[in-house]
Structure 1
Amino acid sequence: MPAALLLQREDATVTIIHSKTKNPEELIRQADIILSAAGQPNLVRGSWIKPGAIVTNVGFSLDKDPNAPFGFRVVGDICYEEVCKVASAITPAPSGPFLLISLAMLLSNNLTSAKRIHNFM
């Protein structure tokens, strides 16, 4: 939600899609910038993306994988293999050090946003 508020402050038109939204793919196809944080593996498919859109994959989940070192692997909300063929820019699924850095930066940015909104800075 803080990302949506920051974008609105810059006069962006923001649409928030959640699990109860009907036909999310139709709304996503209209977007120039997509931030996904659903926590559902490979939810957003390549056919949902407007050519040239910018896609940020924040959400992730753990998928059972007996071949992975700990019996699972980290999977993003975005089906990277499909979306990278359509989007002009895309972040990879969070993994390894990127996952830890992403989470740390996300928390830091959320805290900074909350402080700014409530004039604590």
Structure 2
Amino acid sequence: MIFFISINIPEDKRNYYQCMVFVNDSLYVNKRFDSLPYLSIGSPVKIIFFKLSADVSIPARFLDTLTTDTFFPKSDMANSSKIDIVFNDSLFNYQVFNNDILKITKGKFKIFRSKGRPMANH
């Protein structure tokens, strides 16, 4: 099966991003995004998703990884499929603090994970 992959990152910036491709919940390949216009997979694909991370050339972002939704091809017998990834650059360096405790004292704050250990100290 061949997947044609498009993303809304400008062509000249794609070499700064790594893309991990997961097929059937296993890592299939890890490539720079500029070398991933299509992907040929020789076995049936039930699910596919991608994880995008910035290269160390972008120091403020290289630790972040964004995960796409999971795609379910309509048929594992189809010859090809097209996947469009809409990349939201503002999600890098963004973290959800869902039901975490925030303690603010004297101009500083601590965020506690549900197990009680500090997650961030600013």
Higher-helix-fraction structure: 1
| TM norm. shorter chain > 0.5 | no
Q: Which has the larger radius of gyration?
A: 2
- TM-score bin (small chain): under 0.3
Which of the two has greater strand per residue? Answer: 2
**TM-score w.r.t. length of structure 1:** 0.27
Tell me the TM-score normalised to structure 2 length. Answer: 0.27
Q: Which has the higher contact order (CA 8 A, sep 6+)?
A: 2
